[in-house]
Amino acid sequence: MKLQPPVRRSKENNMLIDAVTMRALEIRSTLKDGVVGGVGTLLKTVRRTVTRGGTRRLGSWLTSPETSVKIINDRLNLVEHFIASPKLLEDIRYKLKLTHDSQRLVQKMSLGRGDADDLVSLARTIIQTQDIVDCISSHLPRKKESLEVVKELIGRIEKLEELAARILRKELMTEKQLLETRLLDESMLSEHLVALKWTPSLGHILHIKSRTLPDMTEGILSSAISVGSSKSTHSYHLPEWTKLGSRIEMARLAIRAEEQKVLQDIRKQVILNIHALRRNAAVLDELDIAAGFAVLAKESGWVRPILNMSTEHKIVGGRHATVQRSLDDLGRTFVANDCWVGGEEGMWIITGPNMAGKSTFLRQNALISILAQTGSYVPADHAEIGIIDQIFSRVGSADDLYRSQSTFMVEMIETAYILKNATPRSFVIMDEVGRGTTVDDGFAIAGGVVRYLWEVCGCRVLFATHFHGLVELVEGWEKEEGKGKGKGKGKGRKKIGAYCTDLVEDEKGGWMFVHKLRKGVNKRSHAVKVARMAGLPQLALKTAEDILKAEKFKRGG
């Protein structure tokens, strides 16, 4: 058995996404039911692959995006080439559909399994692969530097036609056919024979249909012994038939043995070519992913991201691919939002009412980065992204009672991990850190976390919170640092920007969410409105409103 060496993933070559973030961003499985590739996952939303291998590799690419600008651009060049050549795109996807999962097939062979059908599938895939290479080559313009990647990719394909021809024409077929003909010839009774059955006491006996019986009673059946009859069939025994039956059995065994021998021989040939077959399969996977990304970009109107080595994240008109799809299905419109962190402002503190899109905004920016570094176009009007080494997220609350961790403890463990590991090249999204405890303590913790991220980590941060007081707090620190508004100096720390979502009300008491982010702070959460929308009983709502009024009065509001 041949095992594949493990693939090493390192911070130098891949964007690291820890398990918590993977779950929170619903990349492969949903938070709710954990279904891999289910509705609501990034994988499901962006998957347009047509082969199993392509889908598998897409799942692995999305969970470990690249950090090399060159590799990402190579991938994007291929996607762009497919977008620019619709006929090629259509042909390639059609041809890819005709291939089989050769990774799985060779794995079967290397485990000593795999039947004649598997071998034929493998042979057809080899032939199809060559066809795909020819098709791509014929569409390649002579001199175009950006398409060197395409040449390099198809150049990796190893020619294996000889193996394919060997499988398809080999004795496997001819030998089997030969023996089968012999078997038929030897059973001279074939045209009358319904079935030659074996019984322990009489050996082989013949079952004959009642309607063919009159033609036969004069001939061969005259010396046979009747051993039973039913309305439709009659059974006869004759010693010669027992002999014939045994010969047929022998022939069948010979076929099986021959088949096994030939199969074994071809399996060996396949195993000798296992590396080439796997390499070819990998190329097909990459083509499938790129073609899928091209289809996705065209149907969704996505743009090609610009990747660079800065630490900026500049998105114009960004969208959340999955939320947008679900809103589209409901006939609602997704409101696009811009995001520019890592430039003048290193961190954005986002406030706003419940249900107004803070968490969605945080996630969409993380997902856009992941898609970009995977080599896909992205859901935005313009995207410039400085390569990210690691994405961190602290969103949602989940307790792990089995490991004796309360909700707040889990939140703190995850936050500590982020603060200790984030580098200036990292991207951090934090959603309502500090909400799992009293308001005062939660506010204090949130302040401590923001200050550490700003002062020590210096990474790109999107921080959504209902603690609007945080904005005043950080303005105080910025002043302290001599980096107050407009001064632009200090210890090289970037500014912290304050942005918010809104809720607009009319005179008649109607209201709606404004999902568009604007500069500033929103001090109102409008939680009671959301609670009413959710169907909280009238008495509970009324009490909540009274408490709110009393609190406001106490604070002199």
Ligand X SMILES: Nc1ncnc2c1ncn2[C@@H]1O[C@H](COP(=O)(O)OP(=O)(O)OP(=O)(O)O)[C@@H](O)[C@H]1O
Q: Which residues bind ligand X (CB under 6 A)?
A: 323, 327, 334-335, 337, 352, 354-360, 515
DSSP-assigned letter for residue 223: G
356 binds, among Mg ion, ligand X, none (CB under 5 to 8 A by kind): ligand X
Whole-number Å distance between alpha carbons of 328 and 153? 37
- Token duo for residue 427: 């991207």
501 binds Mg ion (CB under 5 A): no
Nearer to ligand X, 161 or 328 (CB): 328
Count Cβ atoms below 10 Å from residue 402 Cβ, excluding itself: 6
Nearer to ligand X, 99 or 354 (CB): 354
Length of the chain as a residue count: 557
Among 311, 359, 364, 465, binds Mg ion (CB under 5 A): 359
Place of tokens 């799992």: 436
522 binds Mg ion (CB under 5 A): no
Backbone angles phi, psi at 499, to 5 degrees: -135, 160
267 binds, among Mg ion, ligand X, none (CB under 5 to 8 A by kind): none
DSSP-assigned letter for residue 387: -
As measured in angstroms, the least distance from the Cβ of 306 to ligand X is: 23
As measured in angstroms, the least distance from the Cβ of 338 to Mg ion is: 19
360 binds, among Mg ion, ligand X, none (CB under 5 to 8 A by kind): ligand X
DSSP-assigned letter for residue 401: G
- Crossing angle between the packed helical segments 469-480 and 439-452, to the nearest 10 degrees: 40
49 binds, among Mg ion, ligand X, none (CB under 5 to 8 A by kind): none
Nearer to Mg ion, 358 or 460 (CB): 358
As measured in angstroms, the least distance from the Cβ of 334 to ligand X is: 4
- Smallest CA-to-CA distance from 378 within 300, 296, 302, 289 is with 302
Nearer to ligand X, 17 or 355 (CB): 355
Helix (H, G, I), strand (E, B) or coil at 218: coil
As measured in angstroms, the least distance from the Cβ of 396 to Mg ion is: 9
335 binds, among ligand X, Mg ion, none (CB under 5 to 8 A by kind): ligand X
Contact between 41 and 322 (Cβ < 8 Å):
yes
As measured in angstroms, the least distance from the Cβ of 529 to ligand X is: 11
Residue 373 CA, chain-centre distance (Å), reads 14
- Smallest CA-to-CA distance from 379 within 46, 82, 17 is with 46
Nearer to ligand X, 317 or 490 (CB): 317
Place of tokens 């001939």: 219
| 323-329-335 Cα angle (round to 5) | 45
Closest residue to Mg ion in the complex (CB): 359
As measured in angstroms, the least distance from the Cβ of 431 to Mg ion is: 6
As measured in angstroms, the least distance from the Cβ of 527 to ligand X is: 8
Candidates 32-40, 358-366, 433-441, 506-514; binding stretch for Mg ion (CB under 5 A): 358-366
Contact between 363 and 25 (Cβ < 8 Å):
yes
Give contact residues for Mg ion (rule: CB under 5 A): 358-359
